[in-house]
């Protein structure tokens, strides 16, 4: 695993463009790596580790999240899927019913962009309507982390830019990995002290 890696659509530092294109399918994106590490990233990794956040506050919330995970499963490395508990949280930034949230961790041979496309297709399949910011939704899938990369593209920012500010991300995320580090932001657990007042509790059916 490469540490301290940064991808930026505007940079061209220390690495050939073909390397970033191979991994992210974005020819304009460039990875900043030590030269000693660059060669191992010149080929598409067999699989990368991802963390994805799920949320829903319309319809049968639990069933929707379970269905979304099921639709994503064919793209995952067999046996790699780990799922947090379900957590209930209040809607942030707008009115609406409470959300049910979860985080999953898995390995996949898909590139980050291909995974994003797959997630958005699943959202559409399950009735997601993109209307206004913070509007209630049948399903929300967020790509939170890709290995220990930092990615800056028009369509994708990794780590997810608000993940460290959200109780409904941090609690299930730390349930999966209590020692997790968010690239560029430090230990995920250090951010728990900054989310006071956000209601988020483990769902008990």
Question: How would residue 54 be classed by pLDDT, with cut points 50, 70 and 90?
Answer: very high
Looking at the structure, do residues 26 and 52 belong to the same domain, yes or no? Answer: no
User: What pLDDT sits at residue 18?
Assistant: 33
Q: Are 136 and 58 in contact (CB under 8 A)?
A: yes
Looking at the structure, do residues 116 and 31 belong to the same domain, yes or no? Answer: no
pLDDT, averaged across the chain: 81
- pLDDT, tens digit, 9 for 90 and up, residues 58-77: 999 999 999 999 999 999 99
Looking at the structure, do residues 154 and 197 belong to the same domain, yes or no? Answer: yes
Looking at the structure, do residues 37 and 51 belong to the same domain, yes or no? Answer: no
184, pLDDT greater than 80: yes
34, pLDDT greater than 80: no
Residue written as token pair 């209601």: 199
Structure tokens at 100: 């049910």
Looking at the structure, do residues 105 and 144 belong to the same domain, yes or no? Answer: yes
User: What pLDDT sits at residue 17?
Assistant: 33
Looking at the structure, do residues 55 and 28 belong to the same domain, yes or no? Answer: no
Looking at the structure, do residues 111 and 24 belong to the same domain, yes or no? Answer: no
pLDDT average, residue stretch 28-57: 62
Rounded to an integer, what distance in angstroms lies between the CA atom of residue 61 and that of residue 46?
A: 33
List 108's β-bridge partners, or say none.
Answer: 48
- pLDDT, tens digit, 9 for 90 and up, residues 85-130: 999 999 887 677 999 999 999 999 999 999 999 999 999 999 866 5
136, pLDDT greater than 90: no
Range of the domain at 198: 46-202
1, pLDDT greater than 90: no
Looking at the structure, do residues 9 and 72 belong to the same domain, yes or no? Answer: no
**3-class DSSP string for the chain:** CCCCEEEECCCCCCCCHHHHHHHHCCCCCEEECCHHHHHHHCCCCCCEEEEEEEEECCCCHHHHHHHHHHHHHHHCCCCCCEECCCEEECCCCCCCCCEEEEEEEEEECCCHHHHHHHHHHHHHHCCCCCCCCCCCCCCEEEEEEECCEEEECCCCEECCCCHHHCHHHHHHHHHHCCCCEECCCEEHHHHHHHCCCCCEEECCC
């Amino acid at each position: 695993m490469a540490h301290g890696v940064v991808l930026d659509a505007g940079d061209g530092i220390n690495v050939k463009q073909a390397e970033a294109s191979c991994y992210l399918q974005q020819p304009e994106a460039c990875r900043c790596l030590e030269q000693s590490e660059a060669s191992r990233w010149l080929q598409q990794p067999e699989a990368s580790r991802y963390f994805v956040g799920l949320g829903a506050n319309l319809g049968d919330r639990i069933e929707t999240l379970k269905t979304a995970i099921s639709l994503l499963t064919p793209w995952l490395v067999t046996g790699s899927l780990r799922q947090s508990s379900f957590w209930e949280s209040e809607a942030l930034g707008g009115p609406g019913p409470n959300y049910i949230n979860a985080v999953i961790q898995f390995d996949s041979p898909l590139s980050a962009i291909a995974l994003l496309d797959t997630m958005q297709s699943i959202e559409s399949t399950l009735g997601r309507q993109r209307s206004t910011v913070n509007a209630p939704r049948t399903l929300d899938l967020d790509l939170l982390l890709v290995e220990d990369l930092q990615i800056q593209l028009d369509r994708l920012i990794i780590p997810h830019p608000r993940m460290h500010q959200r109780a409904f991300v941090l609690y299930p995320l730390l349930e999966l990995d209590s020692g997790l580090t968010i690239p560029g932001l430090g230990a995920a657990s250090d951010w728990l002290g900054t989310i006071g007042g956000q209601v988020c509790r483990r769902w008990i059916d």
